Homo-oligomer: A and B are copies of this chain.
Amino acid sequence: MFRSDLVKPDGRALWLYARHPIPDGLVAPSPNAQPVVPNSHLRWHPLRGEWVAYASHRQHRTFLPPPEWNPLAVTTDPSAPTEVPAGPWDVAVFENLFPTLSGQAHDPPESIVDTRPGLGACEVVVFTQDPTSSLGRLPVDHLALIVDVWADRTEALGARDDVTYVFPFENRGVEVGVTLHHPHGQIYAYPFVPPVAARELSQQQAHYDATGRGLLADLLQRELADQARRVIYRGEHVVALVPVCARYPYEVWMAPLRPAPSLPDLTADERLDFARALKTVIMKYDALWQTPFPYIMAFHQAPTDGQAHPEAHVHVEFYPAYRMPGRLKYLAGSEAGAGVFTADTLPEDKARELQAVEVTIE
């Protein structure tokens, strides 16, 4: 992996990654001329016991491109700079122009609840220069580079004092609110362990304390022993499956069999198998109804709090938007109000559908 570290004219960082050396002299463009001074804050939600982020500067965006303009395409006309330069790079990461969290947040307003500066980071990961591609269509070695990029950013962000948890994710499809169609993901770096991760980590900690083993590693072994009924990818190192307790129809988890806590802990072989699993899952999704399959892809890994986390087991959870072609899965009263997911279909049936989709990867 080769990396070139650049700074945009407005002060934001840009990192270019490639499988081959990147020549010197590339210049980081920005569609934005003024220095960016984001300043969000967090407020404590006493009833839920969690932080809520307010980035009201996002309202005052001076930057309103025409809808057909693609800021994630390479800059070809210097008078209309985008977020990334032309050049021989494969993956680019840059700091979001209007971040929800940033290292510059300061002086939170006083309030009747606790407040904190919205420290942390929000980064955009451009998966490829090709605006018409997608994760499922990129070659495995390109996907392996993306895994390396996620790991590299996890290490760099995790080393910061204002970051306690690094969360790579992809929102895919207008159904989950995406407005830019160029293939990209995001990374949020939080100054606390976010509630969903905190919950999963505490469940994992309790199991680890009781048994000395990993909760997810044990579950994966039971899934494989259960005739692999819900398994949709089984590599040497990595497995992908519809979990026995899926909340969303077609929900898929992807994890190394070895309970590595975080992306940087994965070996080169594990990363390559992770890339193959990723491609397989998304190809199956896209082939299922012969149309791009919208989802949220969320990483779970160990906090970056300087402690060892033998209980943590890095994995990906895919939350699909649809339960049938054209029928969204709504999070309504029971899900959003009470936190109880209700499913009309069994994980075994959804797994069978995905198993039946034949895909071939090189």
Measuring CB to CB, which residues of chain A are less than 8 angstroms from any residue of chain B? 43-56, 58-59, 100, 111-113, 165, 167, 169-171, 176-178, 186, 188, 190, 194-197, 199-200, 202-204, 207, 215-216, 219, 222-223, 225-226, 244-247, 296-299, 317, 319, 328, 330-334, 336-346, 349
CB-CB under 8 A from A59, the residues of chain B are 344-345
**Given the known A-B contacts A298-B338, A345-B59, are A203 and B47 also in contact in the complex, defined by CB atoms under 8 Å?**
yes
Cα of A343 to Cα of B54 in the assembled complex, Å? 5
A47 to chain B, nearest CB (A): 5
**Given the known A-B contacts A52-B247, A330-B177, A332-B296, are A194 and B46 also in contact in the complex, defined by CB atoms under 8 Å?**
no
Contact A188 B244 (CB under 8 A): no
Cα of A215 to Cα of B46 in the assembled complex, Å? 8
A259 to chain B, nearest CB (A): 13
**Given the known A-B contacts A49-B199, A51-B340, are A226 and B296 also in contact in the complex, defined by CB atoms under 8 Å?**
no
Contact B245 A46 (CB under 8 A): yes
A229 to chain B, nearest CB (A): 9
**Given the known A-B contacts A48-B203, A319-B337, are A244 and B43 also in contact in the complex, defined by CB atoms under 8 Å?**
yes
Cα of A78 to Cα of B236 in the assembled complex, Å? 64
Q: Which 8 A-B pairs have the closest CB atoms?
A: A298-B337, A177-B330, A195-B339, A169-B333, A194-B338, A196-B339, A45-B245, A112-B222
